[in-house]
Structure 1
Amino acid sequence: MLLPHRAKMCDKPDLSEVEKFDKKKLKKTNTEEKNTLPSKETIEQEKECVKSS
């Protein structure tokens, strides 16, 4: 039995809650990117592992 096209729920998501959302209620956050470089010792250890394998 085939359902009519309008019966498919996945065609269009319900955006009613998104449309009502008030972004003024969001808190301001500060993001910090942490990209630490490996230490000299860590680099040497990695080199030793690569050489031994």
Structure 2
Amino acid sequence: MSDKPSMAEIEKFDKLESKTGTQEKNPLPSKATTEQEKQAGESY
């Protein structure tokens, strides 16, 4: 038995039907946020 999917399975796969999408789990802070934090750190 093979672990690879058959070509028929690959050809019938519909990318639009697939509901999975990439979502950033840990996004980087915006430039405005980093500027605010930088200014808050300077006031100490």
TM-score, normalised by the number of residues in structure 2: 0.44
Q: Is the helix fraction higher in 1 or 2? A: 1
Please say which structure displays the higher CA radius of gyration.
1
TM-score, normalised by the number of residues in structure 1: 0.37
